Amino acid sequence: MDAETLRDLDRRHLWHPYAAAGAAGAHPVAGADGVRLRLADGRVLVDGMSSWWAAIHGYNHPRLNEAVRAQLGDMAHVMFGGLTHEPAVRLARRLSAMTGLDKVFLADSGSVAVEVAIKMAVQCTGRGRLLTVRGGYHGDTFGVMAVCDPVNGMHHLFSGVLPRHVFADRPPGGYGVRPGAPAGEEAPVDQAYLAHLDEMVARHAAELAAIIVEPVVQGAGGMRFYHPAYLRRLRELADRHGLLLIADEIATGFGRTGEMFGCDHAGVRPDIMCVGKAMTGGYLTMAATLCTAEVAERIGVLMHGPTYMGNPLAAAVAEASLALLDERPWREDVKRIEAGLADGLARAARSPRVADVRVLGAIGVIETEHPVDVPRVQDIAMAHGVWLRPFGRLVYAMPPYVTGDQDVAAITAAMVAATAAPRG
């Protein structure tokens, strides 16, 4: 099917995320290999997004392909109620060893993993409210929308029907590499903000089940990096007031920030952790909610059970992806990408159209003074041979860990060009 026919049928029948039905603008992809996407019209683009942060090993990886093929020869799926299988057992053993959390609930997606975490907290404590911070994003399902930013997030249309949770102020930014800033300059820990967290948790502790945050990096809520000291204080406050700490590591987990998990920047372990995205290397949808043995014992029977829970194909490729991550020098790769992003984005810091430039691990962000024109930015990036997906005032990249230096330079050049061009 030619590219134009694909576009036409797409407009007629498909509904894309965060878009109106029938909206134009989707670019048909014919194939992907390594860090490149091959479009149906023949163009080849360096993927700066890891397919929404998931394809950390790149595309068409022989090891991951083989894991899917081998498992397909045994079984594609079997119900998880009353049955189990080796791929799920092996994956759970690996996840437990990586996180230090004993119990693993395999979910369908990141949003569902957070829904499960909320259910765990409510069943464990008997209380129904959570505390989080403004600027956060945890997914799109109903329970999860209630702990996303209620004002500046994307779910304000549903605010009238969502549970009312407790929101502390957004953490101060400034953590990570600041391209264009003097070497060694880093925002200090804001003592007033620590006092604010103390006061908020103390005031609401009696009604709270848990504190839930994205560790160190607030992802789709604004791509902001905050100091690990604030996460450490939340761990201390949870312990002091008998609350659970839930870490949403769906975007930050498996090396993206330069540590295996965002919590590692602060040296803390949560009571409940959500992981997803990179877990399967971008091959199949799967996430997990992990908790301590103590939390599991207090819960007893957890009232949740997705039809495709523990899917063998997804579990097999997830275990293979995490084994591959464990074997490769991912820290060195992420550090190399961080240096390339910082170097390439430094030029943007001097632009009057740019409010901020920040880098942490394999995450590079240009925040503009005004909302970006998404189709226009994408056209400019594609003219530079790069695929990006900006939103709001953010042009950002989260490339696969296997991205080479020249491709990182191409990504940053596209980002700088897209934000430097005059607004249409």
User: 293 Cβ partners below 8 Å, 6+ apart?
Assistant: 102, 103
In single-letter form, the type of residue at position 196 comes to: H
Quote the CA–CA distance of 411 and 167 in Å, as a whole number: 36
Tokens of 1: 């099917």
Residue 165 DSSP code:
-
Q: Are the C-beta atoms of residues 357 and 344 closer than 8 Å to each other?
A: no
Q: Which of 10, 103, 137, 283 is an active site residue? A: 137
User: Is 248 in the active site?
Assistant: yes
CB atoms within 10 A of CB 185: 8
Quote the CA–CA distance of 271 and 71 in Å, as a whole number: 32
Which string of DSSP letters, residue by residue, matches 262-291? GGGGTT---SEEEE-GGGGTTSS--EEEEE
Q: Is 277 annotated as a binding residue?
A: yes
Q: Is 52 annotated as a binding residue?
A: yes
Quote the CA–CA distance of 28 and 7 in Å, as a whole number: 7
Task: Identify the three-state secondary structure at position 211.
Answer: strand
Q: Is 400 annotated as a binding residue?
A: no
Which string of DSSP letters, residue by residue, matches 167-186? EEPPPP---SB-TTSPTT--
Tokens of 134: 């403004």
H or E element that contains 367: strand 363-368
Please classify residue 191 by burial: count the beta carbons closer than 10 Å to its beta carbon, then call 0-12 exposed, 13-18 middle and 19+ buried.
exposed
Q: Is 257 annotated as a binding residue?
A: no
In single-letter form, the type of residue at position 420 comes to: A
Tokens of 166: 């407790």
Q: Is 350 annotated as a binding residue?
A: no
Q: Is 110 annotated as a binding residue?
A: yes
CB atoms within 10 A of CB 371: 12
Q: Which of 175, 277, 356, 401 is an active site residue? A: 277
Tokens of 48: 């700066």
Q: Are the C-beta atoms of residues 76 and 313 closer than 8 Å to each other?
A: yes
H or E element that contains 228: helix 228-241
Q: Is 389 annotated as a binding residue?
A: yes
User: Is 137 in the active site?
Assistant: yes
User: Is 18 in the active site?
Assistant: yes
- 39 DSSP β-pair partners: 29
User: Is 379 in the active site?
Assistant: no
Quote the CA–CA distance of 200 and 393 in Å, as a whole number: 29
Q: Which of 248, 271, 356, 407 is an active site residue? A: 248
Q: Is 404 annotated as a binding residue?
A: no
Q: Is 119 annotated as a binding residue?
A: no
Name the CA radius of gyration of the chain, rounded.
21
Q: Extract the annotated binding site for substrate.
A: 52, 137, 277, 305, 389
Q: Extract the annotated binding site.
A: 52, 110-111, 137, 248, 277, 305-307, 389
Q: Extract the annotated binding site for pyridoxal 5'-phosphate.
A: 110-111, 248, 306-307
Residues annotated as catalytic (active site), given as ranges: 18, 137, 248, 277
